[in-house]
């Protein structure tokens, strides 16, 4: 049987560019090369799509100096990546796209829409689920309909910030300090701050505004930071992994604590009050289904000392780095990283059948 070609997309214009590169390197090593040819396509922070010829280039980031372009064509009659250097163009037939892109311009439905136009199977959630899951404000509104507890919140837009005092009064009339200030459309805790006063709130809104025009201000929930991985969708049952706990080295699990502080730890199957772990697993599947999720997601919660389960957020293309919780949780259930990646590829094929 002839090998299929998978286009592995990584990098991107989001604040999670570096994490995407790490995830892609790990995923590439798990793909069965006896079954698939791999076409590596890197997207620079400026949005330039380039061909990456060797996996080592990905690991060293030297690929960003490449001059050979590689663009996924939206033409459904071609289903190809256009390789171009100077005035020379070559078409490489593609059978499936694996968009290992985190954050804006990749995890938010944009690249998924491109794959839909090209009529190419792709790994992960569809356009609507990706867009809704990326936007924390939209996700909040969907979860409100499910009877699942979540942190109370206020939505703020860039337009609102023209009158900061009015915004502050609205937030303070509803929420008590400290509050968390988050860009609606950013991941890996980029742009997230904790505010304990009006002055810190103003600084936090300014910081979040750098990342997005929509900002979420949430009440603080004190509890265990818990994550659950889900897999499946479509005609296949959605299964939840066990749960994992984040033990942040910083006051909260911000970008630096997540990826650059060795004191931060993850614990698989932590001891939680009562049946909180099972509640988390059931809620994760329920939220994934409500968003019409497909393939994979990681759903994050808080569990209080009293055993209350509170939804935090969903990631429709979770990290796949060496320290990422998503593959770790399924590996703890006996599903190796290679088998997990193959399962995700199989699901992508099934969506097109």
CA-based R_g, the chain, Å: 20
Distances, alpha carbon 334 to alpha carbons 242, 344, 348, in Å: 11, 16, 22
Tens of pLDDT, residues 11-30: 999 888 999 999 999 999 99
Angle between helices 136-143 and 276-290 (to 10 degrees): 110
DSSP 287: H
- Ordered structural domains, the chain, with CATH: 4-122 (3.40.50.20), 133-149+222-352 (3.30.470.20), 153-219 (3.30.1490.20)
Between the CA of residue 311 and those of 55, 268, 300, 335, what are the distances in Å?
Answer: 37, 19, 6, 26
Give residue-wise pLDDT tens across range 193-203: 999 999 999 99
Give the SS3 label for residue 273.
coil
Name the least confident of 68-82, 97-111, 163-177, 252-266.
Answer: 252-266
pTM of the model: 0.91
Mean pLDDT of 280-307: 97
Share of the chain above pLDDT 90, in %: 82
Compute the Cα dihedral for 332, 336, 123, 100 and give only its sign.
positive
- Contact of 286 with 148, CB cutoff 8 Å: yes
Residue 186 in this model has a pLDDT that exceeds 90: no
Between CA 127 and CA 26, with CA 75 as vertex, the angle to 5 degrees is 55
Find residue 245's DSSP bridge partners: 226, 267
What confidence tens digit (pLDDT) does each residue in 221-259 have?
999 999 999 999 988 899 999 999 988 665 654 555 455
- Tell me what pLDDT residue 262 has: 59
* DSSP track, 289-349: HHTT--EEEEEEEEE-TT--EEEEEEESS---STT-HHHHHHHTTT--HHHHHHHHHHHHH
Closest by CA to 272, choosing from 224, 227, 221, 229, is 224
Residue 36 contacts residue 3 (beta carbons within 8 Å) = yes
Collapse the DSSP code of 227 into the 3-class scheme (helix H, G, I; strand E, B; otherwise coil) and give the result. Answer: strand
CA distance linking residue 280 with residue 31, whole number of Å: 30
> Given the structure tokens 């389960």, which residue do they identify?
309
Give the pLDDT mean for 250-274: 69
Average pLDDT, the chain: 92
**CA separation for the pair 101, 258 (Å, rounded):** 18
Which residue is listed with tokens 């942190």? 151
**Placement of tokens 């939206």 in the chain:** 74
């Amino acid at each position: 049987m002839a090998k299929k070609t998978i286009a592995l997309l990584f990098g991107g214009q989001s604040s999670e560019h570096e994490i995407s590169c790490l995830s892609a390197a790990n995923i590439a090593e798990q793909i069965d090369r006896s079954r698939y040819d791999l076409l590596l396509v890197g997207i620079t922070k400026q949005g330039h799509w380039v061909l990456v010829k060797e996996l080592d280039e990905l690991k060293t980031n030297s690929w960003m100096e490449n001059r050979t372009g590689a663009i996924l064509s939206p033409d459904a009659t071609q289903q190809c990546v256009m390789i171009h250097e100077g005035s020379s163009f070559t078409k490489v037939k593609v059978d499936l796209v694996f968009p290992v892109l985190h954050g804006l311009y990749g995890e938010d439905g944009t690249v998924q829409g491109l794959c839909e136009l090209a009529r190419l199977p792709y790994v992960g959630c569809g356009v609507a689920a990706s867009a809704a899951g990326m936007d924390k404000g939209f996700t909040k509104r969907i979860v409100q309909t499910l009877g699942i507890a979540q942190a109370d919140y206020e939505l703020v837009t860039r337009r609102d910030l023209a009158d900061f005092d009015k915004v502050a009064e609205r937030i303070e009339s509803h929420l008590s300090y400290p509050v968390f200030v988050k860009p609606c459309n950013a991941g890996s805790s980029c742009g997230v701050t904790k505010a304990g006063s009006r002055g810190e709130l103003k600084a936090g809104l300014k910081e979040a505004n750098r990342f997005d025009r929509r900002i979420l201000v949430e009440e603080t929930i004190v509890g265990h930071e818990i994550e659950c991985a889900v897999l499946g969708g479509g005609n296949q049952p959605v299964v939840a992994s066990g749960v994992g706990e984040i033990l942040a080295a910083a006051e909260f699990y911000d970008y630096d604590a997540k990826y650059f502080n060795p004191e931060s730890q993850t614990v698989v199957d932590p001891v939680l009050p009562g049946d909180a772990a099972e509640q988390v697993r059931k809620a994760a599947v329920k939220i994934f289904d409500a968003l019409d999720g497909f393939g994979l997601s990681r759903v994050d919660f808080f569990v209080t000392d009293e055993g209350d389960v509170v939804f935090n957020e969903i990631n429709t293309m979770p990290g796949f780095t060496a320290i990422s919780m998503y593959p770790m949780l399924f590996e703890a259930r006996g599903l190796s990283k290679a088998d997990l990646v193959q399962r995700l590829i199989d699901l992508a094929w099934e969506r097109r059948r």
